[in-house]
Amino acid sequence: MYALLFSQVLRRIDAERVHHLTIRLLRVVQAVPGLTGLLRRLLGPRGPEVEALGLRFPGPLGLAAGFDKDAQVYEALAGFGFGHVEVGTITGEPQPGNPRPRLFRLPPDRAVVNRMGFNNRGSADAVARLRRRRDVVVGVNIGKTKAVPEEEAAADYVKSTERLAPLADYLVVNVSSPNTPGLRDLQAVEHLRPLLRAVQEAKGATPLLVKIAPDLADEDVDAVADLALELGLDGIIATNTTISREGLRGDPAVAAQAGGLSGAPVKHRSVEVLKRLKARTGDRLTLISVGGVETAEDVRTRLAAGATLVQAYTAMIYGGPLWAYRINRELRRGR
């Protein structure tokens, strides 16, 4: 039924408009007393539970950052089958993001191109909404405010850390979005080391992870892994969106749009990076795999390759609100 709705209606409407409509609907769901708890009982994961980062996750599948940018609807999202929800990316200061249009679908490739540019209300605004949460594992993904120069990036991340780390189950430093000028330069170890050290000093006891791009060369993946071990980080999330457009079959005009590509085309490289990180770090880090996860078999593949947890986002766009529930059901059935 959702496939028919998507093909006949939703794909004809601007993607960002559909996203905002979905957020409004989820806010209505969340506002009904007891409804999110009921949904979690009906649609939520029922194991196998995963212990990681000093936390207990009700299932291995979570929602990646990018959907609930301002921590508005994570409770409702958990009601639709996600074992955890990563909110953000949240920046130190509020910002509108890049000019519209900035979100584009590629249905033949089961992919999306976005150049949102960390549009969000800022870390101070998210505090009250994160303070109210109940019974949901919530990660908070933080990024650099666009207007902040690179040499002041650490202070900007620390500002968000001081506000949000006490309210997060885990914290993620995002240095891998292609949509903020200069952000990916922070993945270079000489820039990343002082940044992560500054965040570490400010985060308290909250577990800390870093999110990397699929476009890193293998030797740079190794360097980030080594740095994570050196600093005693809790984990790495691999991978973010890609700037590659190799092998796409969808509308060339859409494929040519600037921004990060997510969805099925990222799958192969995401698994490659995961395996490389696992070989480099063993069991010393929690690895969260994201990028091109569409099926229960994809989840099993990531877990077998060394991931402790798995995240997705684009597949929900094409699979609909019950997508995570179906994946969890198939995982339980061993299919």
145 is in an annotated binding site: no
| Active-site choice (177, 262, 270, 289) | 177
Start-to-end Cα distance in the chain = 22
Ramachandran quadrant class, 67 (left: phi over 0; alpha: psi -120 to 50; beta: rest):
alpha
The C-alpha atoms of residue 134 and residue 130 are separated, in whole angstroms, by 9
Q: What are phi and psi of 119, to 5 degrees?
A: -70, 120
7 is catalytic: no
The C-alpha atoms of residue 121 and residue 109 are separated, in whole angstroms, by 32
318 is in an annotated binding site: no
291 is in an annotated binding site: no
The distance from CA 125 to its chain's CA centroid, rounded to whole angstroms, is 20
117 is in an annotated binding site: yes
65 is in an annotated binding site: yes
Q: Which two tokens stand for residue 286?
A: 């929690």
313 is in an annotated binding site: yes
Residue 162, CB-side half-sphere exposure with 13 Å CA sphere: 10
81 is in an annotated binding site: no
98 is in an annotated binding site: no
179 is in an annotated binding site: yes
240 is in an annotated binding site: yes
328 is in an annotated binding site: no
The C-alpha atoms of residue 73 and residue 194 are separated, in whole angstroms, by 33
Of 252, 92, 235, the C-alpha closest to 163 is 92
Q: Which two tokens stand for residue 158?
A: 């620390």
Q: Residue positions in the annotated binding site?
A: 65-69, 89, 114-118, 141, 174, 179, 211, 239-241, 263, 292, 313-314
* Sequence ranges of the binding site for FMN: 65-69, 89, 141, 174, 211, 239, 263, 292, 313-314
Going by the annotation, the residues of the binding site for substrate are 69, 114-118, 174, 179, 240-241
Active site residues: 177
